[in-house]
Structure 1
């Protein structure tokens, strides 16, 4: 999953995996059979869909609407293939941000903010979310609606709900999609979107559309595919629900001194912006007005590369998408739309390629660190483990993986 509600869905998945692991461990020690999934899945598709219909009707959907919503539903093998081989962020921040925060996107973003100035003004007044924040997500999710996905939404959700890998995540979304059919906001035969069921210009899941959907153009419906006002206001309401604080920054480019307690860098609590300022960290725009806010010093490519202070609102971006590279790029995009200059990239040391990263993760694992899956991604777990080893070796603990460090380990 790479779009809205990932933190909530990921939590469900994590709980499910934890429960499954615990059950398997208990079964192994007692000889008992493992329990079946808590949510019905698999088996004959027609029988499965009857169960889905019954659940939707129990939630108040008329039986004929549920029948219409599920008529012709089919398993899409391409959805299962995408689910098994999800794309991952193996690019560096510099590579990814330069590709996504392009001049053309910035120009179109500025045009969109002017074109829908009244809608954006309403979004900020009602939900406290400024235009650049919404526009950056709008651009990065679908290029302002140009690339919304071509998977039949109903079938994608049927497929992922029927599949027993993560039914807890997707069955509620399928029920919500049926509710959207009832409201006239989803056509089961023609509505398309991303492979995992997200819909529209800002790529939201059915449960979130129902919970946070706003009719921005006054036509009595929430149509995130075709209505930009609906998409803008719904995104704003959803972002507010994730905890966005009006009037506070998200991210701020800074310069860093030669010496710092590098082990305190990264997405970890305990420091205020003023603490970093006192240590010689300097905002590029000179603005130190938010010194009383908690702030993390993030170094996407180590202490010699670009540096940012991230504020509490950055957590909203992590709720939207848990990829550090994506969220940092989206937050940076918003600052550019707000008038900030291109970041100063510095001169970061070359990072590891995919093979090197996997070798590093394997080494960290043998040293007793939990880095999660050996996937070649410099994620938060790998960075945290790397910082501990850098500190042990007497090196600046900036969490950046280099060939020199791999060889030292």
Structure 2
């Protein structure tokens, strides 16, 4: 009865004309606006009202969204934190246990097993830690918040469709703070578009079925542009005479051109593909060639340090050696990085949010300013650059 009364009140509060619910403001009014908008997304008003009846704003979700300090760590530290011998051993054991599933994924979607194993490890520690945030509360909270409503509003309506089909329980479904569900942490829209019944039981159960989760992840990567049979990341050695301004994701050259400049694979041979030269911690640190598949990682996660670590871990799981960490120059502390981003903005560069994170935009701006100031333009910010600005 209480659910029916709340559903009726939501509908009564909704405007007659379904308009896009604006972010911010009163949370109950926002839910009413979402309920009114739902039919335009193919969800019945009754379903929307029942779906939203028990939803509450979750402050812990907002706190988690604003506290992603781990991405401020430099690549070497971040990768050592995430990649343990235990994760490597369990990854290889899972590769053996689900060999038939990975073989089918490789045949159907062209995604190498190391890639999915790395995501499985980092997202949920191979399914062991899937998150205990109420999924619907998280999605509606983030859709209401004005930081990234455009990302999360569509997920609310997708979650309604999962609820309508019996594949999501607003009261009981849990996952990550950002609304991802299951062993490889997929958002509702991705589940609808790419969910696969990998174990043949007639359901897509990403929380409890590793075959379902892995097959769905493989299909999603294919839909994001993954190219079958191609590499994604390869460790290289580099000469001291390289033109550092040519490094970074902004520049692509055929691997043969990089070879002609003195860049050499640490193991094996180069693929006949275009590639970018990545120096996560500058010219004195690790170096990698990033092939086109590497860029697909950014459709999964937009953190440069996470993406590069996940891509590297995938190569480790398939036999690559531990990377050569080198001896990179000391980086900047959080306050220094924010000060640098502010100075880069003052120079006219788009660094995105001043958040202390060395993302792709900040790296490109650093490289440009290093070149302007006559410093080695390797994209790694140092105290010397900060002082020079």
Question: How does the TM-score come out when normalised to structure 2?
Answer: 0.89
Task: Name the SS for the 1:200 alignment partner.
Answer: coil
The 5-angstrom pairing of residues 5-84 of structure 1 reads 38-41=20-23, 45=27, 48-61=30-43, 65-84=47-66
Distance 1:340 1:154, change over 3 A: same
Distance 1:372 1:113, change over 3 A: same
For structure 2, list consecutive stretches of 5 or more residues without a partner in the other structure.
Answer: 1-18
For structure 1, list consecutive stretches of 5 or more residues without a partner in the other structure.
Answer: 1-36
1:361 CA displacement: 2.6
Distance 1:67 1:218, change over 3 A: farther
1:174 CA displacement: 1.1
Which of 330, 337, 348 lines up with 1:350 in the alignment? 330
1:64 CA displacement: 5.0
Which of 267, 278, 291 lines up with 1:298 in the alignment? 278
Task: Name the SS for the 1:313 alignment partner.
Answer: helix
Task: Name the SS for the 1:214 alignment partner.
Answer: coil
Residue 202 of structure 1 aligns with which residue?
184
Structure 1: 4+ residue segments shifted above 6 A: none
**Maintained 8 Å contact 1:156/1:195:** yes
1:66 CA displacement: 3.8
Which of 381, 384, 388 lines up with 1:404 in the alignment? 384
Which of 354, 358, 365 lines up with 2:345 in the alignment? 365
Distance (whole Å) between structure 2 residues aligned to residue 263 and residue 41 of structure 1 = 41
Distance (whole Å) between structure 1 residues aligned to residue 30 and residue 387 of structure 2 = 53
How large is the Cα RMSD of the aligned pairs?
2.1
1:154 CA displacement: 1.3
Which of 214, 225, 229 lines up with 1:247 in the alignment? 229
Residue 8 of structure 1 aligns with which residue?
none
Distance (whole Å) between structure 1 residues aligned to residue 33 and residue 354 of structure 2 = 38
**Maintained 8 Å contact 1:39/1:167:** no
1:148 CA displacement: 1.2
Residue 80 of structure 2 aligns with which residue?
98
**Maintained 8 Å contact 1:39/1:168:** no
Distance (whole Å) between structure 2 residues aligned to residue 369 and residue 67 of structure 1 = 45
Distance (whole Å) between structure 2 residues aligned to residue 232 and residue 122 of structure 1 = 10
Residue 265 of structure 2 aligns with which residue?
283
Question: How does the TM-score come out when normalised to structure 1?
Answer: 0.85
1:164 CA displacement: 4.4
Identify the range of structure 1 (215-224 vs 388-397) with the bigger mean alpha-carbon deviation: 388-397
Task: Name the SS for the 1:297 alignment partner.
Answer: strand
Distance (whole Å) between structure 2 residues aligned to residue 161 and residue 405 of structure 1 = 39
Residue 195 of structure 2 aligns with which residue?
213
Q: How many residues align?
A: 371
Which of 143, 167, 181 lines up with 1:185 in the alignment? 167
1:158-215 CA distance string (max 9 Å, x none): 2223344443332221111111112221111110011221111111110110000001
Residue 98 of structure 2 aligns with which residue?
116
1:355 CA displacement: 2.6
Distance (whole Å) between structure 1 residues aligned to residue 383 and residue 220 of structure 2 = 42
